A and B are shown apart, each in its own frame.
Chain A
Amino acid sequence: SAVISQKPSRDICQRGTSLTIQCQVDSQVTMMFWYRQQPGQSLTLIATANQGSEATYESGFVIDKFPISRPNLTFSTLTVSNMSPEDSSIYLCSAKDLAKNIQYFGAGTRLSVL
């Protein structure tokens, strides 16, 4: 299975600042995704990270707030911009292995905004 590494694993940030989360996959995958998991909730898809082009955002998520990059097949970043306490969540990177038709997840980045 694909191994997905995220960093940082956790961070505490001040209101109004931005945090960039990195995601590295150990093998070439076809698709990469970013999810958010708010406290006590299930996972919500933020966007699909597209290689070399703008990410595809789900309803309720916008590029200005969550800019995403994917410069190559195995690496992506998610930035949480101008943070507020409502952004305190776990952010998860995910990648799809097309050959196996399976989507794998990283351990997540636990973000607290003060």
Chain B
Amino acid sequence: DAKTTQPPSMDCAEGRAANLPCNHSTISGNEYVYWYRQIHSQGPQYIIHGLKNNETNEMASLIITEDRKSSTLILPHATLRDTAVYYCIVRPAEYGNKLVFGAGTILRVKS
């Protein structure tokens, strides 16, 4: 599976957009980009995933560059409850492939 690189930590003001970058320069054509987050003392929560098109759901937007070597997770209006560790993971879509977690980015939303 392709490796991902994320900044270890970021701060964001409450109410502003949080933009979390992820580098995956060795991504293969059949690998999806997944984002999860883990709020303290809870299990990881699925946020969004995509292959090459930008994706949006009720939680966030995922912007994938045209060459697919990097992506950005956008939380449009961050709240204090969005403070968490955010994991960017690339994984093939085939049956049998599992999620492998890196260190992630600690996002601190401040009032």
**A92 nearest CB neighbor, chain B only:** B43
Residues of B within 8 A of A30 (CB): 95
Number of interface residues of B (CB under 8 A): 19
CB distance from B36 to the nearest CB of A (A): 8
How many angstroms from the CA of A42 to the CA of B101 in the assembled complex? 7
Number of interface residues of A (CB under 8 A): 24
Given A42-B101, A101-B32, verify A108-B43 contact (CB < 8 Å).
yes
Give the contacts of B4-52 with A (CB-CB under 8 A): 32, 41-46, 49
What secondary structure prevails in chain A residues at the interface with B? strand
Give the contacts of A93-114 with B (CB-CB under 8 A): 94, 96, 98, 101-108, 110
How many angstroms from the CA of A46 to the CA of B86 in the assembled complex? 21
Residues of B within 8 A of A42 (CB): 87, 101-104
Asked whether, in the complex, the Cβ of B98 is within 8 Å of the Cβ of A108, the reply is no
A43 at the interface (CB under 8 A from B): yes
Per-residue CB contact flags for chain B residues 83-111 toward chain A (1 = under 8 Å, else 0) read 00001000001011011111110000000
Residues of B within 8 A of A104 (CB): 46
Asked whether, in the complex, the Cβ of B98 is within 8 Å of the Cβ of A105, the reply is no
Asked whether, in the complex, the Cβ of A103 is within 8 Å of the Cβ of B46, the reply is yes
Asked whether, in the complex, the Cβ of B104 is within 8 Å of the Cβ of A1, the reply is no
How many angstroms from the CA of A107 to the CA of B43 in the assembled complex? 4
How many angstroms from the CA of A43 to the CA of B104 in the assembled complex? 10
CB distance from A106 to the nearest CB of B (A): 5
CB distance from A40 to the nearest CB of B (A): 11
**A1 nearest CB neighbor, chain B only:** B46
CB distance from A30 to the nearest CB of B (A): 7
| Most chain A CB inside 10 Å of its own CB: which residue of B45, B46, B100 | B46
A29 at the interface (CB under 8 A from B): no
**B87 nearest CB neighbor, chain A only:** A42
Contact of A106 among B43, B46, B100 (CB under 8 A): B43
- A: residues with CB less than 8 A from B are 1, 4, 30-31, 33, 35, 42-45, 48, 92, 94, 96, 98, 101-108, 110
What are 5 residue pairs bridging A and B, where the CB atoms are less than 8 Å apart in the complex?
A42-B87, A42-B103, A92-B43, A106-B43, A108-B42
